[in-house]
Structures are given as C-alpha cells and as structure tokens.
Amino acid sequence: MGHGVLRRQPQPRASHPNLEVTDASFDGVRVRVYKPQAQKTESKMTGLMWFHGGGWVFGSIDLYDDLVGRIANQTGAVVVSVEYRLAPEHKFPIPFEDCLTATQHFLQHASEYGVDPTRIGVAGDSAGGNLAAAVALRLSKDDKKKFPPLKLQALIYPALQAFDFQTPSYVSGHRFFVLLPAKTMTGFWIRYLNNNMSLVDTFANNGHTAALKKSRFASFVDRHFLDDSVPRLVPEDVRIDLPDDMKDILNPYYSPLMAEDADLSGLPNTYVTVCGTDVLRDDGIMYARRLEMAGVQVRLARYPSGFHGIMSFSSKPFYFQVGKQMEQDLTTFLRHHL
C-alpha cells in the first residue's frame, strides 16, 4: 500500500462480507480502510474520509465500524475511518491535524487504493462533522497541484461554533435534549479548547464573548440566518481581547462558522443534516445559509423528529426509522455526488 503502513492484511469480515477491511497508518495517523471487493468495471472508485463523533473526547473507529462499513457497502466508495487523538489529553489543534494529515495522505496516494483522487470527500457526525468542515476549509487553501480539491463535504448534525451558546436550539437544550444537554456540549467544546472546566457556566451564558458582540464575528453567527430575513448589519470590528487559551474560539479550524465569507466560497458541494431536537441544530442551519450566500452548492436536510446522534440508531437492536432514513439519504447523496 505504498506509504500507508499496514497493520493487517485486507480481509473480508463476517460483519462486512463484501468489503476488504484494513487497519493502516497514514503518515502516523491510525486509520481503517473499507474497500468494496473488486467490481467488474475497471474505472476508479470514489473515496470518502470519515471522522467519528463523540465530542472530540469519546468515540473510535471500532465504535463506528458497523456504520462506516454500511456506508462503504451502500456507496461503493473506499471509506477511510480516522482514529484521531482525543481531547482533553490532545487538545485543539491535534485532532484536527490528525484528520488533515490522514486526508492529505489519501489524496496523494488514492491511486494505490484504486480511488480517483478527484472524487474524494470528507464526512463526519457531530464533532466529526466539525473536523470534516475544518479539513475542507484548510484544504481549500492548499496547492491544488499537490492536493486535488475535495469533491464534497457531508456534515451530519455538526458542531460548528463556540461563539454563541444562546441560540434557540441551545436555549431549548437546557431543558429538553437529554441525549446531548446544552451544558454537556459546552463542556465538550471546552475540553477540546483548553480543558478549563471552570468556564462551563461562563461559556453557557455567553460571558466569554460578551466583548465581541459588536465585532464582525457576530455576523458569522447571526440568528437571522435561521429564517429568510436579511442578515443584520453589525458595526466595524472592536478590539478583541481574549485570553491566550481562549483565542481559538475565533479560529475557523476550531469553529468553522468563524470562517470569512471569501474562504467559504472556496468550499466544495456540501450536505448538512440537522435534527429538530438537537442543541447543534442552529449551527448547521446557519452554516448552510452562509455557504449558500457564498455561492456554494448546499443541500440542507432537516429531520424535525430527529435527535442528536440518531444516525447511530439506524440498525438493530437500537433502531429508529428517522435514523435509518438519515443514513439512506446520506448514502444516496454520496453515491450521486462523489
């Protein structure tokens, strides 16, 4: 496999009889490669990088093995699941850098896996959606001669900003969203940032960004994006004075909604899913709206009766029809657009 160091020879598994599943290392980052068994056609396959959810703190390629295997089977794509290092032991930017490194490796060595390097996308759920969005932003700035541009990004109920924890979905999440309460999500952001858990209440009440509400950054997380009204105007930048260990809340590779409009305009075809019962719902809606305004082709898939994490409940024994539908809609999009 060239520069990808194999840990185990490709082999079908009982759970994935139509796939060759290989554990490997992409430039030092552990990955699991799911390759559909040889097809009759001689054309190159499509490829997808998958970044798992878990608040940057939990999750693994083993936990997502069934889901990622199904995605590979249903799309016919070679899917690479990334075992990025986790916070709080490995805070930002390490998880992001692991995902970026693995993706760059795959783009450069795609032909070794039978993949067309111009037909590779990135995807992930929750924190993995954050990482996929961040990797797409970073790669949009790379030398296209060195790394082919991504074909698409698919963001499943993504976490996209740590600027405003008083959006309608976060406010409702203080009361209802049991699977991912608002303060739990706030805590995940802090563990990923600096692990100073004494800041949870400050972040939850927007005390960390009070001085920035009149800056241009406020326009990036504008609640008017949640409906069809014209985005409000904001004053010119004010002085930004954040502690060193908090400045990354404005870094688009930590919070993709903080990206400038010009940077968003360079992003690939985008698929975003949001659930009605999810503190992250408004993040996804605002990002989709900003991408659309920047001229990016976007599909926003809404699941009003869905809750955060529901796509992980798309097969027995833990099964929700909405989760199954979300998985089917995702794989249909990937088949048609990769």
Report residue 229's pLDDT band, with 50, 70 and 90 as the boundaries: very low
Give the integer Cα–Cα distance in Å for 292 and 299. Answer: 9
Secondary-structure percent of the chain, ordered helix, strand, coil, rounded to 5: 40, 20, 40
What pLDDT is attached to residue 243?
A: 80
Of 99, 29, 16, the closest CA to residue 65 belongs to: 16
State the pLDDT at residue 146: 86
Q: For residue range 134-158, what is the model confidence (pLDDT) as tens digits?
A: 999 999 988 777 899 999 999 999 9
What separation in angstroms does the CA of 165 have from each of 60, 201, 214? Answer: 27, 10, 16
Question: What does pLDDT average to over the chain?
Answer: 87
pLDDT value at 1 more than 90: no
Find the length of the chain: 338
pLDDT at residue 336 is higher than 80: yes
Do 53 and 68 contact (CB within 8 A), yes or no?
Answer: no
Of 81, 126, 169, 215, catalytic = 126
Non-local CB neighbours of 36 within 8 Å, separated by 6+ positions = 18, 19, 20, 45, 72, 73, 76, 77, 78
Is the predicted pLDDT of residue 4 greater than 60, yes or no? no
This prediction's pTM: 0.88
φ, ψ dihedrals at 101, nearest 5°: -60, -45
**Would the pLDDT of 33 be above 60?**
yes
Q: Is residue 158 within 8 Å of 136, Cβ to Cβ? A: no
Q: What is the mean pLDDT of residues 171-182?
A: 73
Confidence of residue 234 (pLDDT cuts 50, 70, 90): very low
| pLDDT over 50 at 239, yes or no | no
**pLDDT value for 174:** 58
CATH of segment(s) 4-163+250-337: 3.40.50.1820
pLDDT 10s digits, 185-198: 999 999 999 999 99
- Rounded to an integer, the average pLDDT of 32-51 is 88
The answer to whether the beta carbons of residues 182 and 204 sit under 8 Å apart is: yes
List, for residues 310-324, the tens digit of each pLDDT value.
898 776 667 789 999
The CA radius of gyration of the chain, in Å to the nearest whole number, is 19
The stretch 18-30 carries a mean pLDDT of 97
25 is catalytic: no
Coil vs helix vs strand at 265: coil
